Each structure stands twice: as structure tokens, then as C-alpha cells.
Amino acid sequence: MNEQEIKTALSSSRVIHVDETGLYEMGKRIWLHSTSTPSCTYYHADKKRGKEAMDNAGILPGFKGVAVHDHWTSYKHYETCDHACCNVHHIRELQRADEQDHKPWAKDLKELLHKIKDTVDTAREKGKGHLPVGQVDLFQKKYRTLIDAAKKEYPTPPPREKGKRGRVKQGKSKNLLDRLDRCERDTVRFMYDFNVPFDNNLAERDLRMIKVKQKISGTFRSQEGSAFFCRIRGSISTWKKQGENILEVLTQSFMTNPIQPRISCTSE
């Protein structure tokens, strides 16, 4: 299977899932970046975690669809595409803010996100391609009302002391609230576009076997080994997603005319 074909198909997809996880190569920390849809997977190993590595992977630069990811800031550098944040992460953090910091707004926002998801799922099951405009407006107004009310609970932070750099320190709950405020559209994009999922679970599933491999085998022994593993594992994942018999495909790969599955990297 031509790895470039997978990258090209992913680059032209309407929605992609992206994520990254730490690995070890010759005992040193590296990062494995994944890009996937329900029918294609691509892996890229890099010494960097941020934008430089994502540029090297060669998919996000110039991508014009929707990239689904967690709130790692490096993804936001790509302005040719739209973004959608993983709400499973948000739900987890909202629950922590509710239970540990005793923030009522966190419980209300968590319940609202669940309600929007249930409404979208029900509409999709009925064959609808979108929610009624009035319903979307009501959900958006409720979201905005909860955010604005929550912001009033926090006093204006003191000015940064002279000579000090970086952000003014604040609690986890306030950081979460600021992100939900700043990334409002990215948080509820699944409500506007039914092709966009509520979460980034697909990317996390595609990284799961990589982590299992790491636990069993430990570090990669060379940079070439990391690259070969990414290519092989990405191809196997793609074949599996497209319904191919993996043993048969691998066997045929050593034959004169190996199987070449049709590359079709659909979105959701």
C-alpha cells in the first residue's frame, strides 16, 4: 500500500482526528503523531511534539476540513482548517471542577453538553442532517449564559508583577472556563455539523495498540525502526478499517501481485 496515497486521502477528507503520544527511541523520548478517519490511519514518529513535528507529518499544513483534537495549543496554529475539541476531555474536567472545586457552573455545563449530544444523536438516528435553527440558537444562548454567569464568580486577576513573565497563575477550573469561553465554537461544532463527532475517541483508539506495543517491547532501537513500524502499523490499521483480511493481505504482500485495497478515507 502506498503510504502517500493514505496521506493524500487524509489531506482531502472532510473531518480528520489527530492526536499524539509519547514513545521511546534508543532510550530517549520521542512522539508518535496520528491522523485518522474511520477508514484510514497514518502515523508519524518525531523528536518533537509541537507544530514542527506536525508540519513534518505533512497533513495538517494546508488542510481545509475539520481537525478534531484535544486542546493541545500546537493544533491551533493551523488556520486553513476548522477545529473541533474533544468533549470527552471537557466532560472529565468539568466533573473534576464540580466534585473537587465545588463549581455549580461546571455541573450545569456538563449537563448541557450531554443534552446537546443526545439531541444531535436522536436527530441523526432519524435521518436528519442538522438541528432546527431555533433549537441551535437556544442551545447556544444557554451555553453563553452559563459561561458569562460563571465568569462573574472570578475576580479580576491582579496585574503581573514587574520583571515576571508568562501567564498569571490561576486554578484549573478557571483555566477550563477560559478555554470553554475562548473555544466556544470549537466545543459545540458537532451541533452545527453532524459530520463532526462529539469526541476524539477514534484517534485514541488508533493510538491504543501503539501504547500496548511500547509496554511489551520498550524502546525502539533505531530511527529507521520507528519509521518502519509507523508505516506497517498505519497500513495494517487502514486495511483493517476497510474490511480486509489482515493475514491474507500480509501474505500477499510478499507475493508478485500484492493486494492493493482501494483507498477511501471517509470522514464520520
In tens, the pLDDT along 157-178 reads 666 666 666 666 788 999 999 9
Which helix (H) or strand (E) segment is 18 a member of? strand 15-25
8 Å CB contact between 88 and 63: no
Q: Where are the domains of the chain?
A: 3-84+201-252, 87-192
- Output the CA–CA distances (angstroms, integers) from residue 84 to 92, 97, 116, 188, 254, in the order listed: 17, 22, 15, 8, 41
8 Å CB contact between 233 and 160: no
Q: Is 3-84+201-252 a CATH 3.30.420 domain?
A: yes
Higher pLDDT, 257 or 56: 56
Given a cut of 60, whether residue 1 has pLDDT beyond it is no
Given a cut of 70, whether residue 90 has pLDDT beyond it is yes
Q: What is the pLDDT of residues 200-255, one digit of tens each?
A: 999 999 998 888 877 777 888 899 999 999 999 999 999 899 888 888 888 877 77
For position 213, what pLDDT does the model report?
A: 78
- Of 25, 9, 69, nearest in space to 230 by CA: 25
CA dist 40 and 14 (Å) reads: 13
Given a cut of 90, whether residue 50 has pLDDT beyond it is yes
Q: What is the pLDDT of residues 98-149, one digit of tens each?
A: 999 999 999 999 999 999 999 999 999 999 999 999 999 999 999 999 999 9
The 10 Å Cβ neighbour count of residue 233 is: 19
Cα–chain center distance at 212: 20
For position 244, what pLDDT does the model report?
A: 85
